[in-house]
Amino acid sequence: MKRIHIIVTGTVTGVGFRWWLKKEAEKRSIYGFVKNRTEDEVEALLLGHEKDVEDVVRLCRKGPTSS
């Protein structure tokens, strides 16, 4: 199991980023939380199998098409 705490910055509020990240994590049976910190920051704690967590972190660098 791998646990990682990340803060994603940029255009992440008002574009469905939290919802998208939650769905991507759920697809991989990753537990944790995701929440807005500021106008341009989202915080997430991800816990799951190492490959799955790394995949989600990689996806966060790109984000959904709306962000």
Catalytic residue among 36, 37, 58, 61: 36
Catalytic residue among 18, 28, 37, 58: 18
Is 28 part of the annotated catalytic residue set?
no
Is 18 part of the annotated catalytic residue set?
yes
**Bridge partners of 7?**
43
Closest CA to 49 of 41, 57, 37: 57
CA distance 61 to 24: 13
Catalytic machinery residues: 18, 36
